[in-house]
């Protein structure tokens, strides 16, 4: 009998998985700070466009089937994105104000750019969701609505109701007024005529320019702008207050920074929340926004913790890569890993000495630009690949020592239901517990052995639980007859995405901030008015 022996190819490198469960507290925090804005709801206009389209379609086709609705919605998605891309070209501007993150832009953007006078674009070519269609703009039957906006419009804002299986509608109390306000200044007949024709020219796209997301700032679109500002900023429910407070905090930050240069507006905002300071001096935050600022400070703190743990885990995987390592258990494996070159820059001092040195030498919390600040450690971990395990360890020490005197529950202001984070071993609360009960008194090698052992054990625990819950295998390393071996490489450590990029974009779409590239945006007069309304 002939036998064939071969090797199975290792899966592709993985990024983005929360391999340690350390990102979940970050997600929990930012979800409570910006409810109703997600990592895929980028543009303010679509919060009004979809309710308007549903109401307008219903008025024009009251007897239409669900299939007809879906087909027309997909055509409308394509037309909207083509209009926005064309408007950016016609204005000679970048896409940020126009077609950025419009559904299907990666497919439809080049179509608009390549369209020449006298040519037409067949909308159905891109809207057709057949599996055999190589130019399909979106797989989801409801396009951008189903993939991105339906959840929040239904569950957070109670504007829409229904689901993709049973059909989508709008609530008369909230959906109809928003749809009607959004339709002010739009030529709905022209839009639907283009959908019914099924093809558009450059002239058609130019005639529909008022449908570009940037048009919310036009005088003719004032009712739509006002309605959407109310949706985001004037909802007095607990979720609405939390969202408005975070958006107002961003406006206040931008007002006080006065258009300062920036490489990363999000990082700069979080740095000021964490330190309670601006590069120019103290941040005199309005009283009503202090809780929101503390919330974003907590997020930044937890994000740094998550990245420190992830850096240690990546270095452990990198050192483990190659032939299986024949160790009896993870503790023995960790003892060997810390002797490898991957961990050569680990601090030589004991844990207690590191804490004492940090207490004596660490810059003040508000020393926002100091090269030894934890913010600099945060940037350093992200700038290097692989990130330095020594830097990660110093960051753990700093986060423990900096907040040693605060109350025992770091998450107390979130009012989380009991047990919310109990399934996640690497939290700010557990950092304090580990430092006082496991790390105190350990020499450098012993401390690092415990650190590496903890991240490896935590990964197994998180991955096995996920496998039991969903059947998904996310184990990055395994043990076999020959020992421990890497199953998947971790390409790099990754940050969480706290929805602030979307918040900045929505504020700009609403006309509350200016559009800038290398500087922080300014609040507009309307933005100043909204801020004053929110802070009193």
Provide the pLDDT for residue 11: 44
**Cα(190)–Cα(183) distance, integer angstroms:** 13
**188 and 245 share a domain?**
no
The closest alpha carbon to 460, from 336, 334, 362, 359, belongs to 334
Please indicate, yes or no, if residue 486 is contained in any of the structural domains: yes
Q: Are residues 193 and 80 in the same domain?
A: yes
Average pLDDT in the chain: 95
- Same domain for 380 and 244, yes or no, is yes
At 14 the pLDDT is 54
Q: What confidence tens digit (pLDDT) does each residue in 383-427 have? A: 999 999 999 999 999 999 999 999 989 999 999 999 999 999 999
Q: State the pLDDT at residue 17.
A: 76
Write down which residue in 191, 221, 251 finishes a domain.
221
Number of structural domains found in the chain: 2
Residue with tokens 């408005």: 244
- Under the banding of pLDDT at 50, 70 and 90, the label for residue 536 is confident
In the predicted structure, residue 253 carries a pLDDT above the cut 90: yes
H-only helix segments in 98-234: 105-114, 123-127, 143-144, 150-155, 175-183, 188-197, 202-207, 222-233
pLDDT over 80 at 2, yes or no: no
**Nearest residue to 378 (alpha-carbon basis) of 431, 299, 429, 308:** 308
* Beta strands at 277-278 and 281-282: parallel, antiparallel or unpaired: antiparallel
The model's pLDDT over 132-165, given as tens digits with 9 standing for 90+, comes to 999 999 999 999 999 999 999 999 999 999 999 8
- For 40-53, what is each residue's pLDDT tens digit? 999 999 999 999 99
Same domain, 253 and 128: no
Radius of gyration of the chain (CA): 26
Residue 96: CB partners within 8 Å, gap ≥ 6? 505, 508, 515
Q: 5-14, 72-81, 160-169, 208-217: lowest mean pLDDT where?
A: 5-14
Same domain, 32 and 81: no
Q: At residue 6, does pLDDT exceed 50? A: no
Q: What is the largest CA-CA distance in the chain?
A: 85
Final residue belonging to a domain, choices 221, 247, 265: 221
Per-residue confidence band for 5, with pLDDT thresholds at 50, 70 and 90 = very low
Shared domain check, 390 and 488: yes
Which range of residues forms the domain containing residue 206? 45-221
Angstrom distance (rounded) from CA 344 to CA 341: 5
Predicted confidence band of residue 3 (pLDDT cuts 50, 70, 90): very low
Q: Do residues 78 and 164 share a domain?
A: yes
């Amino acid at each position: 009998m002939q036998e064939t022996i071969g090797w199975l190819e290792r899966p592709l490198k993985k990024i983005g998985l929360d391999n340690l469960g350390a990102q979940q507290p970050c997600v929990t925090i930012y979800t409570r700070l910006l409810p109703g804005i997600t990592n895929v709801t980028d543009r303010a206009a679509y919060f009004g466009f979809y309710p308007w389209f549903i109401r307008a379609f219903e008025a024009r086709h009251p007897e239409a089937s669900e299939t007809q609705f879906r087909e027309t919605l997909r055509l409308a998605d394509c037309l909207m994105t083509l209009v926005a891309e064309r408007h950016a070209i016609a204005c000679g501007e970048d896409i940020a104000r126009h077609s950025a993150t419009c559904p299907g832009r990666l497919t439809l953007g080049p179509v608009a750019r390549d369209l020449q006078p006298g040519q037409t674009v067949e909308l159905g070519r891109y809207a057709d969701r057949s599996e055999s269609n190589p130019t399909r703009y979106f797989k989801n039957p409801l396009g951008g609505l189903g993939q991105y906006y339906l959840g929040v419009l239904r569950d957070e804002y109670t504007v829409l109701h229904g689901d993709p299986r049973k059909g989508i509608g709008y609530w008369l109390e909230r959906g109809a007024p928003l749809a009607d306000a959004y339709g002010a200044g739009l030529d709905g007949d022209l839009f639907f005529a283009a959908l019914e024709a099924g093809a558009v020219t450059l002239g058609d796209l130019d005639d529909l320019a008022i449908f570009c997301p940037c048009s919310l700032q036009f005088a003719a679109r004032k009712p739509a702008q006002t309605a959407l500002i109310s949706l985001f900023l004037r909802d007095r429910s607990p979720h609405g207050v939390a969202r408005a407070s975070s958006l107002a905090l961003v406006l206040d930050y931008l007002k006080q920074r006065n258009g300062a240069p920036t490489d990363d507006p999000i990082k700069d905002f979080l740095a000021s929340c964490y330190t309670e300071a601006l590069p120019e001096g103290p941040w005199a935050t309005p009283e009503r926004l202090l809780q929101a600022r503390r919330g974003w400070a907590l997020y930044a703190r937890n994000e740094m913790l998550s990245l420190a743990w992830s850096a240690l885990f990546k270095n452990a995987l990198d050192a483990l890569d190659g032939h299986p390592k024949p160790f009896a258990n993870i503790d023995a494996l960790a003892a060997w890993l810390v002797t490898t070159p991957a961990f050569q820059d680990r601090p030589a001092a004991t844990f207690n000495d590191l804490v004492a040195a940090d207490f004596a030498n660490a810059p003040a919390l508000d020393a926002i630009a100091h090269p030894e600040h934890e913010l600099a450690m945060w940037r350093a971990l992200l700038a290097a690949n692989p990130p330095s395990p020594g830097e990660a360890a110093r960051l753990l020490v700093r986060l423990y020592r900096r907040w040693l005197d605060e109350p025992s529950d770091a998450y107390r202001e979130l009012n989380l239901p009991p047990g919310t984070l109990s399934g996640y071993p690497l939290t700010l609360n557990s950092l304090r517990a580990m430092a006082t009960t496991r790390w105190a008194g350990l020499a450098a090698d012993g401390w690092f052995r415990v650190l590496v052992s903890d991240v490896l054990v935590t990964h197994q625990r998180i991955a096995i639980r996920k496998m039991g819950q969903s059947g998904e295998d996310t184990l990055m390393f395994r043990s076999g007859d020959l020992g421990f071996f890497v199953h998947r490489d971790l390409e790099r450590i990754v940050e969480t995405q706290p929805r602030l990029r979307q918040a900045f974009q929505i504020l700009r779409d609403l006309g509350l901030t200016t559009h800038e590239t290398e500087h922080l945006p300014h609040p507009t007069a309307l933005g100043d008015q909204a801020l004053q309304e929110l802070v009193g």
